[in-house]
A and B are shown apart, each in its own frame.
Chain A
Amino acid sequence: MQHILTRSLDRAATTFILVVAGLGILISLSNILLPAGSFFQVPTYLVALFGKYVCYAILALSIDLIWGYCGILSLGHGAFFALGGYAMGMYLMRQIGSRGVYGNPILPDFMVFLNYPKLPWYWHGFDMFWFAALMVLLVPGLLAFCFGWLAFRSRVTGVYLSIITQAMTYALLLAFFRNDFGFGGNNGLTDFKDILGFNVQADGTRVALFLLSCFSLILAFLICRAVVTSKLGKLLIAIRDAESRTRFLGYRVESYKLFVFTLSACMAGVAGALYVPQVGIINPSEFAPGNSIEAVIWVAVGGRGTLTGAALGAVVVNYAKTYFTSGPLAPYWLFMLGALFILVTLLLPKGIVGTFNAWWEPWKAQRISDADESAAREDGIEPKPNPAE
């Protein structure tokens, strides 16, 4: 355990964790302690907005883990995010109880409206938080496992894999749109009241959810770091760069891909579950293929294969999105996003953090080799002085 931590926490990783934790605590404290309306007070709606960004950052991490390190370009990760979100949404729906418009103690409003005679079997258990939380991990994880098992065993890679992940999220989009599918159809799940007995609208709950999201981001980041700095991480990169070579070394590539793909889907599910109570709604549009593509763009902008870049990209792009879509430029946002993607691909192929590293690393490497040399001198293996001198 100790050695995994020391290995995972290099300077950049430690900085990242400190920044996330620091900002999380500062924003929360300013919201709680400072009087409303004062200049330094972060209003609650902003706390919720930042919380949303943090959830996106977790989704971006999960994509970077498979795309940046293992070369699996999933264009359907939004599906795992949305499934996690629906699992949480189902819990929140069951918490409404008889406070709904129709006052039915068991059936959510949309079921009463659609004349459901009783609760569908797959809604059972979601009145318990622990069960819903388990499903947040299990449903996306299981789908990813089955999907990955079929795809990786048949050696579907590259563009073909990306296309079938798109098809997967699109199929789910269509399914969730249907009223008889049992998840509220078009309108999705909304009008939430409580989470674990706390009012989801209350300031305190929002701050708590934001802090929990920051904590989850740090945890997800640590898990990703532990994976990519292990020998398995080196192997993932080897698979990314020369997949068939690793087979000839005796590695079962599909098992490794299945492992990271499933892990990544579980992380995306957690991100979705944290997202739903903060935005107050989950509907089928979360499965839209465009969402998954957007998430990949965040990672590309921040820098794939860097983890910190993925998180940064998610926040930067979404901040820009919030900024532009709330102004007169709103209709042009998608064009701007497209342009951003093209610009980054052409000018900053390594993304923000990747470019920074490329510039910084030679310098750091120099320092390390200097340190090595001085260590060697201390060990007394200094080259023998030339007698001719």
Chain B
Amino acid sequence: MNVMDPRVTSAILYLDGVHVSFDGFHAINNLSLALEPGEMRAIIGPNGAGKTTMMDIITGKTKPDEGVVLFDGSTDLTRLDETRIAELGIGRKFQKPTVFESQTIEDNLLLALNVDHSVKGTLFWRGSKDESERIDRVLETIRLKDVRRKMAGSLSHGQKQWLEIGMLLAQDPKLLLVDEPVAGMTDVETHQTAELLKEINKEKTVMVVEHDMTFVRELGVKVTCLHEGTVLAEGSIDDVSSNERVIEVYLGR
């Protein structure tokens, strides 16, 4: 399928019947899920449920053995590589915050900006007013303006999470996949992160994986619970958290 094909679904992200196994271990099993444009979705589930693996599939890091993964209703993501998928407008924050530690915070954001990414373009790049304003705005949003010239490696775990969210903002994707954004954050920071994601969601589609139920509750969005690589329950936070199976495999522990 290419971009010219008519949309087969209104969903911005559409997974159907996806399977992945690693050496015979079925990490993802008949997974089906759809995100509507502009939606924010929280994904919960026990350790090893396949949440991160699902993001790996969407971003092209892992190729599914079977199944359909469509972006914008028509682009088959299983046939594209990470770079191409990022160019299409899917951004990702990793479970373990991954920033460029030996470079400054502003350089991390500069590298994330969605500008010309060709070899020639970066070699002969000259900063523009527009770019530095965008970086300033992001720095403001993630509250790291005062330390912009510090090395990213010197940040605390929580600040690195924020920097990585900032890199997502600079990347300006249509769909954001955010894996465990509040791990290592204080309650105040967790609250601020929830506010920030809600703010981002005004313009963009967001998928958040998180174990922190207070945080998920605060987001106040539709929740999907994964278990053993498949959807166990889906609905409002109250529906999902009162689901017997969910309590059994996840919340009850």
| A contact residues vs B (CB 8 Å cutoff) | 3, 227, 230-232, 234-235, 237-238, 241-242, 244-253, 255-256, 259
Contacts and interface: CB of A to CB of B under 8 A. Distances in A.
Nearest to B112: A249
Given A3-B126, A230-B125, A249 B171 contact: yes
Interface of B: 59, 61, 81-83, 86-87, 91-92, 94, 98-103, 107, 110-112, 114, 117-119, 122-126, 167, 171
A360 to B, nearest CB: 16
A242 B98 contact: yes
Contacts of A253: 83
Nearest to B153: A241
B86 A227 contact: no
B150 to A, nearest CB: 10
Given A248-B59, A249-B111, A250-B171, A234 B103 contact: yes
A232 B100 contact: no
Contacts of A234: 103, 107, 110-111
B119 A250 contact: no
B105 to A, nearest CB: 13
A135 to B, nearest CB: 24
Given A241-B100, A241-B101, A231 B125 contact: yes
Contacts of A3: 126
Given A234-B103, A234-B111, A259-B119, A245 B98 contact: yes
A189 B59 CA distance: 53
Contacts of B124: 230
A250 B125 contact: no
Nearest to A254: B83
Contact of A255 (B119, B125, B126): B119
A249 B125 CA distance: 17
A227 B111 CA distance: 15
User: At the interface, is chain A mostly helix, strand, loop or mixed?
Assistant: helix
B107 A249 contact: no
A346 B217 CA distance: 51
A231 B110 contact: yes
A6 to B, nearest CB: 12
9 contacts: A230-B122, A230-B125, A231-B111, A232-B119, A238-B111, A248-B59, A248-B82, A248-B91, A248-B92
A247 B119 CA distance: 14
Contacts of B87: 250
A244 B111 contact: no
B83 A232 contact: no
A247 B86 contact: yes
Nearest to A259: B119
B81 to A, nearest CB: 8
A247 B122 CA distance: 15
A237 B100 contact: yes
A246 B122 CA distance: 13
A238 to B, nearest CB: 5
A47 B163 CA distance: 53
Given A244-B61, A250-B117, 13 more contacts: A230-B122, A231-B125, A232-B119, A234-B103, A235-B122, A238-B111, A245-B100, A248-B59, A249-B112, A250-B114, A252-B83, A253-B83, A256-B122
Contact of A249 (B61, B86, B123): B86
A244 B62 CA distance: 12
B114 A241 contact: no
B125 A242 contact: no
Nearest to B171: A249
Given A244-B82, A250-B86, A256-B119, A237 B103 contact: yes
A232 B107 CA distance: 12
A230 B98 CA distance: 22
B119 A238 contact: no
Contacts of A238: 100, 103, 111
A247 B107 contact: no
B172 to A, nearest CB: 11
Contacts of B94: 245
Contact of A252 (B59, B102, B117): B117
